[in-house]
Structure 1
Amino acid sequence: MAEIGNAPVQHAVLAVLSASRRCLTIEELADTAGISRRQAWNGTVGLIARDYVVRRERGCYEVTEEGLVAHTAGTPLKSGPAGPLERCRKPQANTLNGRLWRAMRMKGKFSLGDLLNLAAHGDEGNAEHNAGRYVRALVAAGYLTELRRAKPDRPGSNGVKRYALLRNSGPLTPMLRRGGDIYDPNTGELHSCASSEAGGKS
């Protein structure tokens, strides 16, 4: 099957999902759109990154309201995300979350303070708040797990909360999306974790 550009592939995938209005597998998308499975996968991942498609369950994808509006309006997809690695060849090189993710992969087990010592820059405002939000989202998405607290270092303290990295999916930084979901460019998966914003500080 001849390869075609990523923008036409995304248009084809979006058209199929918009017409279906139900959850479809990559195989179903490829067969219906008349493209290869690799093209269907790359197109779907690109549309997820645009918030036009969401993964409802493992291996099953559905158009979002934003995607329906874009398809109906004929919004052009001139360029942009392709496959998970192509899309993030230059990932958030010097963002706080990028540095936090690298620190997590390096240490394996850590406290929020450990991460901030490695990742936060002195001129970065609200680093502790933003890092705590990112850590809570990764816990909710199953990337991190909470460990038993370290022994208190002073009277009245509950000890330091520590974490372990469970899902080291790759070098690209899992991205915290609006609404609290995590999009992982290493795998092309979107993990719903809106509950991560509930609860107290990390």
Structure 2
Amino acid sequence: MAWYGNAILTLLADCSRTKQELADALGIKPPAVCDACKRLRANGYVQWHNGYWNITDKGWQMLASGQPLKSGPGKGNSPARGRSTLRAKAWRAMRMLEGFSLDDLLTMLCDGSEGDPSRNLTDYLRALVAAGYLMPLPRRGNGRHPQRYRLRRDRYTGPDAPAWNKPERTLTDPNTGEVFRIPRKRDSVEEAPHA
């Protein structure tokens, strides 16, 4: 589902609006407006009063900061959330490395306290490849070496790690608010097709 939080805040900066007025201005259905406004209200950026959505002082501050609002897995604008997760650490490593394999990430990032880190990162890499963030590199040694990847610079959107929601099969980029639906694949990351 697309994230309309930024557009809604911008519209409310002009004047208070009803749910239907926001939906008409954005060309979307009212339930999508309700979903976005609930997330904005939960974070203190908007308020509901007498049938109208209004921007709050916190919403004005967010607009003035120029930072994009994020809908991510926490459904709010909380970039500090999840910075110490294995996937967040892997994203930071991917940004620094010219090329890497799953084994490289496991060796660099794991200390033995993680629960099934190989499966965790395999799923994450697969989602990043499917969404176009990672490019599989040609295999070396007639395919005997592990698959290596490189972050596609044209898809690099920011420092916060895209969030993979396996049950919903979605990858959400907290830097842009984009949500990618990832189809189910039987192939492992090690067998991912070359870009």
> Which of 134, 149, 156 pairs up with 1:163?
149
**2:173 is matched with which residue?**
184
Residue 80 in structure 1 maps to residue 69 in structure 2: no
Aligned residue for 1:84, secondary structure, equals coil
Work out whether residues 179 and 194 of structure 1, in 8 Å CA contact, stay in contact via their aligned partners in 2.
no
Is the partner of 1:134 in helix, strand or coil?
helix
Quickly say closer, same or farther: Cα 1:105–1:77, change in 2 above 3 A. Answer: closer
CA distance in 2, matches of 1:182, 1:124: 22
Q: Which runs of 5+ in 2 are unaligned?
A: 1-10, 46-68, 191-195
Amino acid at match of 1:199: D
How far apart in 2 are the matches of 1:81 and 1:135?
A: 34
Q: What amino acid is the match of 2:85?
A: T
Residue deviations 1:29-68 (CA, integer Å, cap 9, x gap): 2xx8xxxxxxxxxxxxxxxxxxxxxxxxxxxx6677xx69
TM-score (norm 2): 0.61
Q: CA–CA distance in 1 between the matches of 2:126 and 2:102?
A: 11
- Say whether the 8 Å CA contact 2:102–2:148 is kept in structure 1: yes
For structure 1, the 5+ residue unaligned runs are 21-27, 33-60
Kindly tell me: are residues 190 and 76 of structure 1, through their superposed partners in 2, closer, same or farther at Cα, counting changes over 3 Å? closer
Give distance in 2, aligned partners of 1:2 and 1:63. 16
Q: Residues 151 and 98 of structure 1: is their aligned pair in 2 closer, same or farther, counting only changes over 3 Å?
A: same
Could you state the TM-score of these two structures normalised by the residue count of structure 1?
0.59
Determine the C-alpha separation between the residues in 2 that align with 1:129 and 1:182: 17
1:181 partner letter: T
Pick 1 or 2: higher relative contact order, CA cutoff 8 A, min separation 6: 2
Alignment CA distance shift 1:84-1:76 (3 Å) = closer
Aligned residue identity for 2:182:
C
Q: Paired residue for 2:132, among 122, 142, 151? A: 142
Equivalences for residues 14-33 of structure 1 within 5 A: 16-17=22-23, 28-29=25-26
Q: Measured at CA, do residues 201 and 139 of structure 1 come closer, stay the same or move farther in structure 2, by a change above 3 Å?
A: closer
**Secondary structure of 1:194's aligned partner:** coil
Instruction: Describe the SS at the equivalent of 1:169.
Output: coil
| Paired AA for residue 110 in structure 1 | F
Shift of 1:16: 4.9
1:62–1:129 Cα change, 3 Å: farther
The 5 Å alignment of 1:46-195 reads: 78-80=41-43, 83-84=69-70, 87-151=77-141, 158-166=144-152, 167-177=155-165, 178-195=167-184
Counterpart CA distance in 1 for 2:162 and 2:39 is 27
Over the matched positions of the two proteins, sequence identity in percent amounts to: 31
Change (3 A) 1:200 1:63: farther
Count how many residue pairs are aligned between Structure 1 and Structure 2: 148
- Please give the alpha-carbon distance, in whole angstroms, between the structure 1 residues aligned to 2:39 and 2:170: 25
